[in-house]
Amino acid sequence: MKSTALMLFVALMSFSTAAFAQTDAQPVALAPTEAQESFAAVKALAGEWEGVVHIAEMPEITPRMHVSIRVTSRGNVVVHEFQEAGTLLDPTKLDHPVTMFYVDEDGLNLVHYCDAGNRPRMIGTRSEDGKTFDFELQEVGGDPTYHMHHIVFIVTDADHHTEEFTFMMGDKPMHARFELTRTESREDWTARDLAAQ
């Protein structure tokens, strides 16, 4: 009786070891979630962009801006930075906020590290045609008196997209629209950096 139980135990252990080995050798691919698909579309914007910004409340001001979008952290984060075109990168200037995109809890998240000194966090939804990403405010870390309240990205094609920002100045909204054209793709600057090594 003892030897039968021992043989059964050994057989079961061999079977489960083989099953685990087979599972490890052939992982099951899960379909990407909607948030992961949206994040992949945001990653496709990686590169350098330039264009004019239109401020609805100040139509006479139309500065030219430069936007840099890059994928980092082993593909888990997209970093978006903008500054006035033709200027040196200066972190002390007011026009250099950083926005981070990532997937968390099956949602496309955005944290905007604002030059107003706070951190609005937003959750994005993608339109049915996959071209518009609408980010709604969830919370503001820091003083919310002046904060980024709403962000929309509209992808026209691989080389053109629009970014719309609503910034709250107390209880008064300001609306900015960036019409951007790609100047350099992620592949372009990756090849350039590799050639420089």
Beta bridge partners of 120: 140
Long-range contact list for 158-166, CB < 8 A, 24+ apart?
Answer: 158/44, 158/182, 161/45, 161/49, 163/67
Q: pLDDT (tens digit, 9 = 90+) per residue, 26-77?
A: 667 678 899 999 999 999 999 999 999 999 999 998 999 999 999 999 999 9
Pairing of strands 77-84, 47-55: unpaired
Q: What is the pLDDT of residue 173?
A: 97
State the average pLDDT over residues 97-117.
Answer: 93
Three state DSSP letters for 11-26: HHHHHHHHHHHHHHHC
Q: What is the pLDDT of residue 4?
A: 54
Task: Please tell me whether the overall predicted TM-score, pTM, comes out greater than 0.85 for this model.
Answer: no
Q: What is the pLDDT of residue 155?
A: 97
Q: What is the pLDDT of residue 84?
A: 87
Q: What is the pLDDT of residue 121?
A: 98
Beta bridge partners of 100: 79, 111
What structural domains and CATH numbers belong to the chain?
A: 34-196 (2.40.128.20)
